[in-house]
Copies of this chain bind each other. A is one copy, B any other.
Amino acid sequence: VALARTGNPRAIARVISQVENDATAAQSVIRAVYGDTGRAHLVGITGPPGSGKSTLVNELAKAFRARGRTVAIIAVDPSSPFTGGAILGDRVRMRDLAGDEGIFVRSMASRGSLGGLARATAAVVKVLDAAGYHMILIETVGAGQAEVDIATAAQSTVVLEAPGMGDDVQSIKAGILEIADILVVNKADRPGASRAVRSLEMMLHLGLPAEPETIAHGPGHEVATAAGAAQEAADAAARWNIPVLETVATDGRGIPELAAAIDDHRHYLEASGQGRLRERLRAQREIAAALHDRFVARLETEVPAEARLALADAVAERRLDPASAAEQLLAGLDTNHRSIH
């Protein structure tokens, strides 16, 4: 862990493997590195299969490298391991980015539960953040709730689509759109690109909450012109108009603009106070997850397995309802806990 914090890629890779495979190890790693986190800019990039995510993420990584920043890429595939897609994409990617020591690439495939994957991703992000990477790009394949959950680990979320993906896909995308800070129509050289842009702009217009009301000014502000101008600038910083950008990742078109938009979003987060608000929400979610883990562990050590199984069978056979079973378990915990202290 100490070596990983200095940025040693082999040490980082080894710590990440531990964090992925062992929940207990993950906890102690997070404890060790947590104080050093919070400096990287975490960017989630998501969109349906076929939208050209991997190529775009590679180009984006190069663009940030050209600006002198180090970049870590985490490619998360929540679909079943037996597709092998993540591994395949990874090889192509490796060839493309090979030889640059300022870029770190890691693929993560789903193993068992999705909640587990989201948690492992959050832990890996912390290791890379503490290791000093300036930008952490979290790429997720697919377009479902998994991506929404994983995206909550990011500070800025880029949602990608490509022209001609069909109207059917719209229904999947709606939930995804709501988490977008930046929208991108990739493969913008294909027919239908401008229609896709218009359709996204329309969905933004229809579906998202209207601009927040201008912050109520305190007394006196309306008289001084200079103060008014300052207030206007502050108001502008407090708003974020979700841009809809066009890119052609295969030839790099639109990539510098996308990189700039991502930087703009970070500045917006800082200037508006939204960044602190999002950090607080993330902290609340992480505390809740840690609480849940501890609670489950306590239940498993303090209530005998046979007692838990007997309750499950009573519920399965309709002799007891789930809420009453939960109450009996809690009562058992409390009794046990009182007798321990």
Contacts and interface: CB of A to CB of B under 8 A. Distances in A.
Contact of A83 (B146, B171, B324): B171
Most buried by B among A288, A289, A291: A291
A78 B145 contact: yes
Interface string A74-116: 0001111011010000000000000000000000001000100
The DSSP consensus for interface residues of chain A is helix
Interface in A294-341: 294-296, 299, 308-309, 311-313, 315-318, 321-327, 329-330, 334, 337-338, 341
Q: How many identical chains are in the complex?
A: 2
Interface stretch (A5-13, A174-182, A215-223): A174-182
A176 to B, nearest CB: 9
Contact of A287 (B177, B279, B287, B329): B329
A2 interface: no
B142 A172 contact: yes
Interface string A30-67: 11001111100000000011100000000000000000
A290 interface: yes
Interface size class of A (residues with CB under 8 A): 35 or more
A206 interface: yes
A213 interface: no
A133 to B, nearest CB: 17
A207 interface: yes
Contact of A49 (B172, B290, B338): B172
A170 interface: yes
A296 B232 CA distance: 42
Most buried by B among A323, A326, A334, A338: A323
A173 to B, nearest CB: 8
A86 to B, nearest CB: 9
Contacts of A329: 287, 291
A260 interface: no
Contacts of A82: 174, 206-207
A280 interface: yes
Question: Shortest 10 CB-CB distances between A and B: which pairs?
Answer: A144-B144, A80-B174, A290-B326, A283-B315, A34-B321, A286-B322, A279-B316, A49-B168, A283-B316, A50-B168
